[in-house]
């Protein structure tokens, strides 16, 4: 067979027990809590009242809510899946029950005296993986020794699955409330771990032609899917943008929080969320616009619209180092990103703390404090980044909420002037329970839940940050192009449609702010395209 390319319009959907894979479904402790407290109750509700779910799915006001998007005719399929989940995930369910039992034990008996005697009363399933402690105010708590939990069957690669299918439009159903039980003749399903090396070889074939037949054995393509799989290859080479000439700098906006920063010979990709390449009226960058090698992927925080395995697994072969925020050390709400990425096949994972530094050829990357957007939970795995290289000073603030302006005064005093600031504008985020509800071991009132939002900066907070950094606020639109170095500091609001943000959050648009002192003094420096 002639050598062919893997098509750019074939999507990859990673699944865990048929649910769209996102970080809390990879880390075994958070996955266990989601199975017991989210997946099973949601499917039980659907089996009992499919009409209610169908009605809610049709109501735009309910978008992103806990409603299963399946036809009523699929009730029996859902019931069969529910029964299988209860059997297949029995250990995860027992783990979640043990977490609740430990919480109750500490509430009842941790009265400020020594906790030593309580180790013998700890649920058996948690023994050897769990430390209990007091904080300085005598409030009891516990943490997991996470690497040991990954060694158990709580982390079960047999539940992992890859779906390959052609894609021709932006619209896809909201993924976080419905398992992918229905199959299509156009798709190929592979029950393989995410860490399978042959996946990397498959996506290398997007740029380097190969014999498609070799993947039949490498990926274990089922006999009845071989013809469909081979149709995912083409003799047409990819059509991407030209590489950046040596010595120049460029910033490209791929949508949502994803930026490609090319500074001299070094390439940095931030929070990868990348669209597929197919005909669409909205111009956008896609996979062919990435360089062959990405030196650093920067992950700002552990939310599903910033760690998208659908994108990351497709570019794993390109990545030199993934930089992740260091977590708080085993708390349920703050699992280790380093362990998670290692488990799914990534190497060279570097944990960075606040003001930790990575040396670049002509500069450095510095981790900066990230406040807010985590519903007031004690979560450390979140960082903004300052990239300084080739005479450029770029602050990547992601979804940081400017809760305390003095922080940015101190940051400016420490890192100096900033040329360009990228800030996500999320004025009214989801309530605490939308993301962290399955992890809670004590009830929360509706009013408290609604007050604790996954919110970033609103206009006033963003404006304050701009002022502190000495920039001007400008709502003009359009790509940021090269201009003289004496250009005054500038702030530009960008709005961009991001289809793969939509499937994870049910929202259609996201706002990002690019704040720039010098639009650029490097030839060809762009931020775009825009919707």
Q: Is 281 exposed, middle or buried (0-12, 13-18, 19+ CB in 10 A)?
A: exposed
Considering the domain architecture, whether residues 41 and 189 belong to the same structural domain is answered as yes
Considering the domain architecture, whether residues 268 and 208 belong to the same structural domain is answered as no
3-class DSSP state of 59: coil
Q: 73 pLDDT band (50/70/90 cuts)?
A: low
User: What is the DSSP code (8-state) at residue 238?
Assistant: P
Q: For position 72, what pLDDT does the model report?
A: 64
Considering the domain architecture, whether residues 198 and 130 belong to the same structural domain is answered as yes
pLDDT beyond 90 at 300: yes
Residue 523 domain flag? no
Whether the ω angle into residue 529 lies within 30 degrees of 0, i.e. cis, is: yes
What are the DSSP calls for 447-509, one per residue? HHHHHSB---B-HHHHHHHHHHTTPPPB---S------TTPPPEEEEEEEE-HHHHHHHS-SE
Residue owning tokens 């490097």: 522
Considering the domain architecture, whether residues 393 and 337 belong to the same structural domain is answered as yes
Q: What is the CB-side half-sphere exposure of residue 326 using CA atoms within 13 A? A: 12
3-class DSSP state of 399: coil
Residue 340 domain flag? yes
Considering the domain architecture, whether residues 214 and 293 belong to the same structural domain is answered as no
Give the pairing of strands 10-16 and 19-20.
antiparallel
Q: For position 508, what pLDDT does the model report?
A: 37
Residue 158 domain flag? yes
Q: For position 428, what pLDDT does the model report?
A: 81
Among candidates 234, 225, 230, which has minimal Cα distance to 184? 225
Tell me the H-state helices in 319-458.
337-343, 405-415, 432-436, 446-451
Considering the domain architecture, whether residues 167 and 313 belong to the same structural domain is answered as no
Q: Output the six-digit token pair for 213.
A: 């037949």
Q: Which residue has the higher pLDDT, 496 or 52?
A: 52
Q: Which domain covers residue 216, as residue numbers? A: 1-238
pLDDT beyond 90 at 315: yes
CB 285 within 8 A of CB 260: yes
Q: 264 pLDDT band (50/70/90 cuts)?
A: confident
Q: What is the CB-side half-sphere exposure of residue 444 using CA atoms within 13 A? A: 18
Least confident of 126-140, 254-268, 517-531: 517-531
Strand (E) or helix (H) holding 398: strand 392-398
Residue 137 domain flag? yes
**Domain end among 188, 212, 238:** 238
Residue 527 domain flag? no
Which pTM value belongs to this model? Answer: 0.90
**Domain end among 238, 273, 304:** 238
| pLDDT tens per residue across span 188-236 | 999 999 999 999 999 999 999 999 999 999 999 999 999 999 999 999 9
From CA 153, how far away is CA 84, in angstroms rounded? Answer: 17
Residue 427: partners with Cβ closer than 8 Å, 6 or more residues away: 455, 456, 457, 458, 459
Q: For position 472, what pLDDT does the model report?
A: 58
Beta bridge partners, 363, equal 360, 389
Among candidates 228, 308, 227, which has minimal Cα distance to 273? 308
Considering the domain architecture, whether residues 317 and 275 belong to the same structural domain is answered as yes
Segment 422-451 shows an average pLDDT of 92
Q: What's the mean per-residue pLDDT of the chain?
A: 88
Considering the domain architecture, whether residues 16 and 149 belong to the same structural domain is answered as yes
CB 466 within 8 A of CB 493: no
CATH number at residue 315: 3.60.15.10
The total number of structural domains in the chain stands at 2
Considering the domain architecture, whether residues 228 and 264 belong to the same structural domain is answered as no
Segment 447-466 shows an average pLDDT of 92
Q: For position 242, what pLDDT does the model report?
A: 78
CB 461 within 8 A of CB 421: no
Q: For position 415, what pLDDT does the model report?
A: 92
Q: 473 pLDDT band (50/70/90 cuts)?
A: low
Q: For position 426, what pLDDT does the model report?
A: 67
Q: For position 478, what pLDDT does the model report?
A: 32
Considering the domain architecture, whether residues 277 and 223 belong to the same structural domain is answered as no
| pLDDT tens per residue across span 483-527 | 223 333 444 333 333 444 444 443 333 334 444 433 332 323 333
Considering the domain architecture, whether residues 222 and 253 belong to the same structural domain is answered as no
Q: Is 483 exposed, middle or buried (0-12, 13-18, 19+ CB in 10 A)?
A: middle
CB 446 within 8 A of CB 421: no
Residue 244 domain flag? no
Considering the domain architecture, whether residues 127 and 206 belong to the same structural domain is answered as yes
DSSP E strands: which ranges in 147-187? 160-166
Residue owning tokens 């009730």: 75
User: What is the DSSP code (8-state) at residue 38?
Assistant: I
Residue 319 domain flag? yes
Segment 308-328 shows an average pLDDT of 97
Q: For position 142, what pLDDT does the model report?
A: 97
Among candidates 500, 444, 429, 433, which has minimal Cα distance to 41? 433
Q: Residue 383 phi/psi, 5° resolution? A: -145, 140
């Amino acid at each position: 067979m002639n050598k062919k390319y893997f098509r750019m319009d074939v999507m990859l959907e990673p699944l865990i027990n048929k649910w769209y894979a996102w970080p809390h479904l990879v880390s075994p402790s958070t996955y266990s809590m989601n199975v017991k407290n989210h997946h099973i109750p949601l499917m039980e509700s659907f089996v009992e009242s499919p009409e209610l779910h169908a009605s809610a799915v049709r109501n735009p006001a309910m978008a992103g809510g806990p409603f299963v998007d399946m036809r009523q005719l699929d009730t029996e399929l859902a019931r069969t899946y529910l029964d299988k989940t209860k059997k297949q995930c029995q250990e995860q369910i027992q783990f979640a029950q043990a977490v609740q039992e430990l919480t109750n034990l500490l509430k009842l008996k941790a009265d400020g005296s020594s906790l030593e005697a309580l180790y013998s009363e700890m649920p058996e399933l948690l023994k050897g993986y769990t430390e209990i402690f007091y904080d300085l105010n005598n409030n009891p708590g516990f943490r997991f020794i996470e690497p040991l939990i990954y060694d158990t069957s709580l982390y079960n690669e047999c539940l992992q699955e890859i779906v390959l299918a052609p894609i021709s439009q932006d619209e896809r159903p909201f993924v976080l409330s419905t398992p992918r039980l229905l199959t299509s003749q156009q798709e190929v399903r592979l029950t393989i771990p995410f860490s399978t090396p042959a996946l990397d070889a498959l996506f290398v074939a997007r740029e380097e032609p190969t014999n498609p037949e070799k993947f039949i054995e490498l990926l274990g393509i089922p006999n009845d899917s071989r013809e469909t799989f081979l149709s995912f290859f083409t003799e047409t080479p990819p059509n991407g943008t030209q590489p950046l000439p040596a010595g120049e700098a460029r910033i490209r906006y791929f949508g949502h929080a994803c930026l490609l920063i090319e500074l001299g010979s070094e390439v940095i990709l931030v929070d990868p969320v990348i669209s597929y390449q197919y005909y669409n009226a909205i111009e956008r960058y896609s996979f062919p616009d990435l360089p062959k090698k990405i030196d650093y992927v920067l992950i700002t925080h552990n939310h599903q619209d910033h760690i998208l395995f659908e994108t990351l697994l497709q570019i794993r072969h390109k990545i030199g180092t993934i930089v992740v925020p260091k977590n708080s050390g085993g708390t349920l709400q703050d699992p280790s990103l380093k362990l998670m990425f290692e488990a799914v096949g990534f190497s060279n994972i570097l944990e960075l703390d606040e003001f930790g530094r990575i040396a670049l050829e002509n500069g450095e990357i510095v981790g900066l404090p990230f406040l807010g957007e985590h519903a007031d939970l004690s979560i450390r795995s979140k960082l903004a980044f300052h990239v300084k290289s080739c005479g450029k000073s770029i602050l990547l603030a992601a979804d940081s909420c400017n809760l305390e302006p003095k922080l940015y005064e101190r940051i400016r005093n420490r890192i100096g002037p900033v040329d360009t600031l990228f800030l996500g504008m999320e004025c009214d985020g989801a309530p605490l329970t939308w993301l962290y509800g399955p992890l809670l071991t004590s009830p929360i009132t509706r009013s408290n839940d609604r007050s604790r939002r996954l919110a970033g900066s609103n206009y006033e907070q963003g404006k304050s940050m701009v002022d502190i950094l000495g920039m001007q606020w400008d709502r003009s639109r359009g790509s940021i192009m090269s201009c003289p170095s004496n250009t005054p500091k500038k702030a530009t609001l960008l709005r961009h449609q991001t289809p793969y943000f939509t499937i994870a959050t049910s929202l259609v648009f996201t706002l990002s702010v690019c704040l720039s002192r010098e639009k650029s003094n490097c030839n060809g420096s762009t931020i775009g395209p825009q919707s």
